Structure 1
Amino acid sequence: MAVIGYARVSTTEQDPQLQLDALEAAGVAKVFVDHGVSGTKTSRPELDACLAYLREGDTLAVWKLDRLGRNTRHVLEVIDQLTERGVGFRSVTEGITTEGAMGRAMLTIMSAFAQLERDTMVERTRAGLAAAAANGRKGGRPHKLDDVKAARARELRASGMTAAEVGKVLDCSRATVYRYLADDAQVTA
């Protein structure tokens, strides 16, 4: 009878240490961690390994319910599978456990809120992108070279300089020079 933990961060830049510390304080013996994996995915390498590792009498612990998943149906399916296998579940931060009717009811409500939060973020992002597009703004990284520098790159390249030399003059990479020259070739073709 062991307490096994699962932690997840959505991007590789995020640090799961807060989750790991909380799980350790909760007495977790082993932790599986997914890095850079969305909670909307039903199959995640470490979650799958964690679920396969759990045995009857064990308890799966997560820092917060939304670490297990952002889709209510998926979360409830995982919990049902654990229950059928005789494995308990515990969300450390929310204090939710599958023991008792109230715990299972709260689990359902909290997983619905996790999905609502995710759906609201997606909705806001789409609305923001649509508003920006309507105002003529385009997302993405800013151009390294403006029109003047791009013209200068063409001149320098035409004069016989290598792309690497042009890049040094304009303070950009050789690949950037090639990209701008290729853009010109596509426009004239």
Structure 2
Amino acid sequence: MTSSTGTRIGYVRVSTGKQDEQLQHDALDGAKVLKRNRYTDHGISGSKTSRPGLDAMLADVEPGDTIVVYKLDRIGRSTAHVASLLADLTERGVFIESISDGLNSSTLTGRAMLQMLAIFAEMERSFIQERTVAGLAAAKAQGRVGGRPRKGDTALSRKAQTLRDGGHPVPEIAKTLEVSAATIYRITKAPIQGQ
């Protein structure tokens, strides 16, 4: 992979403000990206990995094409997501050019920067995993457990059991107490026959 020979394709993502959109389009004009070769997402957060404009562009690009963005953060906010996307595009033979970041994956320096980005993304994933494990351990040490709290021996379960022991059908109890029938079955015991 040494040089781009395909189409220059622009991607613009605008969360808010018309000024930001115009700035990105002006930069793409300067980078010689034709208006007909641009994909835009309006009002969509960079934290969303699935975006209509981005998805369409990714489906349309071909080997040798160059995706041009004003800044890499237009593709995604997370370093890990951007690195993953760039790795996928590189594998497909698609180049990336970030105007304000000075990154061009068709150059040796650009490819080296992409590799560094991938390393930082891996570090970010490791740090997140370490923090998650530490947080779960701290919660466990404090007696907290994950998941939704179970409905144990509460006023609800006592009332449900009383109604069930009184011969009321489970669907009726569930409707009365505004919970699902599955919850009633889980928090009560079947009444003893003959009582």
1:90 is paired with a residue whose SS is strand
1:178-189, aligned counterparts within 5 Å?
178-181=185-188, 184=189
Judged with a 3 Å threshold, the aligned counterparts in structure 2 of structure 1 residues 69 and 98 are, in CA distance, closer, same or farther, namely closer
Identity, in percent, stands at 30
Distance apart, 1:128 and its partner CA: 0.8
1 CA distance for matches of 2:39 and 2:63? 16
Q: Which residue of structure 2 aligns with residue 40 of structure 1? A: none
Counterparts of 1:126 and 1:92, CA distance in 2: 38
Indicate the residue corresponding to 2:193 in structure 1: none
The match for 2:9 is: 3
Question: Taking structure 1 as reference, are residues 58 and 80 closer, same or farther at Cα in structure 2, changes over 3 Å only?
Answer: closer
- Identify which of 81, 86, 95 aligns with 2:91: 81
**Would you say the 8 A contact 1:5–1:23 is kept in 2?**
no
Specify every segment of 5 or more residues in structure 1 that has no aligned partner in the other structure, as ranges. Answer: 7-15, 37-45
Shift of 1:89: 1.3
Structure 2, unpaired ranges of 5+ = 1-6, 29-36, 42-47, 191-195
How far 1:100 moved relative to its partner?
2.5
- 3-state secondary structure, aligned to 1:138: coil
The aligned residue for residue 163 of structure 2 is 156
The reply to whether residue 123 of structure 1 matches residue 130 of structure 2 is yes
Aligned residue pairs total 155
Q: State the Cα distance separating 1:95 from its structure 2 match.
A: 4.8
Per-residue deviation, residues 78-130 of structure 1 (Å, max 9, x unmatched): 35434xx4x31135775532143322222111221112112111111111112
Instruction: Supply the distance in 2 between the matched residues of 1:134 and 1:93 (Cα, whole angstroms).
Output: 47
The answer as to whether partners of 2:151 and 2:157 remain within 8 angstroms in 1 is no
- 2:80 aligns with 66
Does the 8 A contact of 1:153 with 1:177 survive in 2? yes
The question of whether the paired residues in 2 share the 8 Å contact of 1:88 and 1:98 is answered with: yes
Counterparts of 1:170 and 1:145 in 2: how far apart (Å)? 15
Question: What is the CA distance between 1:156 and its match in structure 2?
Answer: 0.6
Root mean square deviation of aligned Cα: 3.9
Structure 1: distance between partners of 2:100 and 2:166: 65
CA contact (8 A) 1:167 1:173 kept: yes
Query: What is the alpha-carbon distance in structure 2 between the residues aligned to residue 119 and residue 168 of structure 1?
Result: 47
Task: Find the structure with the greater CA-based Rg.
Answer: 2
Report the TM-score, using the length of structure 1 for normalisation.
0.60
1:144·1:172 contact (CA, 8 Å) conserved in 2? no
Contact 1:4–1:58 (CA<8 Å) still a contact in 2?
no
Q: Is the 8 A contact 1:2 1:57 kept in 2?
A: no
Q: Does 1:29 pair with 2:38?
A: yes
Please state whether the residue corresponding to 2:96 is helix, strand or coil: strand
Q: Identify if the C-alpha distance between structure 1 residues 162 and 175 changes in structure 2 by more than 3 Å, giving closer, same or farther.
A: same
Counterpart of 1:3 in structure 2: which amino acid?
Answer: I
